[in-house]
């Protein structure tokens, strides 16, 4: 009983936090759609979205996710999707970009406190999102994969010209459904911990971290961030770095990896609920992140200490 009560309590707490973020974003996007402002803003994002094969309007969705969080991006998506439909491939590209770069004001502060350059890790996340989005779009379009219209089963069908009453009712239904999605995600995470699945995933990923040049002292901490979230993993890094248990290169590489690839369980499942396909948002994203980190590790381990500390690493702060 205590197990179930804890899950429900955590779900309510997280859900209330998300509602306070999502509702204002949904209202702002609805107003922007009604006034035709989304089309105006799309002009700004068009060159970037063209690179990744997305309609220009979805630049607003990605920007919202970057500045707020994944759930803020989801709220913006719910507003834009009726106006501009997506294919499954496009939803996967957009979801992958959101997973690589989101919650930047908060998460990049964590990176900075952990000791990694905020300028470099921010640039890394933007570059990873754009390059991976472009590669993923090229792959799907070249092989004509996932080109069917995206169908989000739990999302009510809202016409682009829907009035405020219809929009409000459908938005309430969507928000109610998201509660059960969050409940399912938290339950799954707790079961993974209880059954030892998280521990098994950590053991399976550990050799890959060594391949990326991350030392044994940082392995378990990095995996915590990769599986559970950057804020959690970053907090562990901060503690260990302040205690002097990690060297500068391990700190930098660990934080960099967590920056572009974290919360593999919860965030991935949520983006799948928004229409993303597992091939791109999980398998491809992990492979891409590992390749990026192998290249980065070669550069970092060949770099003189004074250059590393001048440009990329700072002392961890509480």
Q: How confident is the model at residue 298 (pLDDT cuts 50, 70, 90)?
A: very high
Q: How confident is the model at residue 284 (pLDDT cuts 50, 70, 90)?
A: very high
pTM as predicted: 0.88
Instruction: Please tell me the distance from the alpha carbon of residue 305 to that of residue 76, in angstroms, as a whole number.
Output: 44
Instruction: Give the distance from CA 118 to its chain's centroid.
Output: 17
**Is the CB of residue 308 less than 8 Å from the CB of residue 249?**
yes
Asked if the model's pLDDT at residue 221 lies above 90, the reply is no
**Is the CB of residue 79 less than 8 Å from the CB of residue 29?**
yes
Predicted pLDDT at 257: 95
Mean pLDDT over residues 110-118, rounded? 88
Asked if the model's pLDDT at residue 227 lies above 60, the reply is yes
Asked if the model's pLDDT at residue 246 lies above 90, the reply is no
Q: How confident is the model at residue 293 (pLDDT cuts 50, 70, 90)?
A: very high
Per the prediction, the chain carries an average pLDDT of: 87
Summarize pLDDT for 155-201 with one digit per residue, the tens.
776 666 667 888 788 888 888 888 888 888 788 878 887 888 777 87
Tell me which residue has tokens 């990896």: 257
Asked if the model's pLDDT at residue 278 lies above 90, the reply is yes
Identify the top-confidence range among 14-28, 84-98, 146-160: 84-98
The values of phi and psi at residue 193, to 5°, are -65, -45
Asked if the model's pLDDT at residue 283 lies above 90, the reply is yes
Predicted pLDDT at 78: 86
**Is the CB of residue 120 less than 8 Å from the CB of residue 296?**
no
Mean pLDDT over residues 144-149, rounded? 97
DSSP letters, 160-191, are TT--HHHHHHHHHHHHHHHHHHHHHHHHHHHH
Q: 127 vs 10, 46, 117, 157, CA distance in Å?
A: 34, 17, 15, 34
Percentage of the chain beyond pLDDT 90 is 41
Instruction: Please tell me the distance from the alpha carbon of residue 167 to that of residue 78, in angstroms, as a whole number.
Output: 10
Instruction: Please tell me the distance from the alpha carbon of residue 39 to that of residue 278, in angstroms, as a whole number.
Output: 30
Three-class SS state of 303: coil
Among 3-7, 141-145, 249-253, name the one with the lowest average pLDDT. 3-7
**Which residue from 262, 241, 251, 236 is spatially nearest to 300, judged by alpha carbons?**
251
Predicted pLDDT at 161: 63
Instruction: Please tell me the distance from the alpha carbon of residue 158 to that of residue 72, in angstroms, as a whole number.
Output: 19
The H-assigned helical ranges of the chain are 2-34, 37-51, 58-67, 70-80, 88-100, 104-114, 118-142, 164-195, 197-211, 216-228, 230-242, 248-260, 266-273, 278, 285-302, 305-311
Instruction: Give the distance from CA 167 to its chain's centroid.
Output: 27
**Is the CB of residue 101 less than 8 Å from the CB of residue 66?**
yes
Predicted pLDDT at 261: 95
């Amino acid at each position: 009983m205590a197990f179930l009560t804890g899950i429900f309590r955590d779900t309510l707490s997280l859900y209330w936090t998300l509602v306070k973020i999502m509702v204002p974003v949904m209202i702002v996007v609805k107003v922007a759609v009604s006034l035709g402002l989304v089309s105006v803003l799309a002009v700004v994002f068009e060159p970037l979205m063209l690179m990744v094969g997305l309609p220009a309007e979805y630049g607003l969705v990605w920007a919202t996710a970057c500045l707020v969080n994944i759930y803020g991006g989801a709220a913006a998506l719910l507003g834009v999707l009726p106006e501009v439909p997506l294919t499954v491939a496009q939803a996967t590209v957009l979801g992958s970009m959101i997973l690589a770069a989101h919650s930047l004001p908060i998460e990049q502060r964590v990176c900075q406190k952990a000791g990694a350059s905020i300028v470099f890790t921010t640039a890394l996340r933007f570059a990873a999102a754009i390059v991976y989005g472009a590669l993923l779009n090229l792959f799907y379009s070249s092989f004509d994969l996932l080109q069917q219209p995206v169908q989000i089963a739990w999302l009510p069908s809202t016409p682009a010209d829907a009035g405020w009453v219809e929009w409000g009712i459908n938005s309430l239904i969507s928000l109610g459904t998201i509660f059960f999605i969050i409940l399912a995600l938290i339950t799954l995470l707790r079961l993974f911990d209880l059954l030892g699945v998280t521990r098994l995933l950590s053991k399976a990923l550990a050799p890959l971290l060594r391949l990326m040049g991350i030392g044994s002292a940082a392995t378990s901490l990095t995996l915590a961030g990769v599986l559970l979230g950057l804020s959690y993993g970053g907090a562990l890094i901060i503690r260990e770095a302040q205690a002097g248990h990690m060297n500068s290169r391990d700190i930098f590489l660990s934080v960099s990896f967590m920056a572009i690839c974290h919360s593999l369980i919860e965030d991935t499942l949520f983006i799948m609920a928004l229409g993303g396909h597992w091939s791109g948002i999980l398998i491809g994203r992990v492979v891409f992140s590992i390749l990026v980190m192998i290249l980065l590790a070669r550069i970092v381990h060949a770099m003189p200490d004074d250059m590393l500390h001048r440009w990329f690493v700072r002392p961890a702060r509480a």
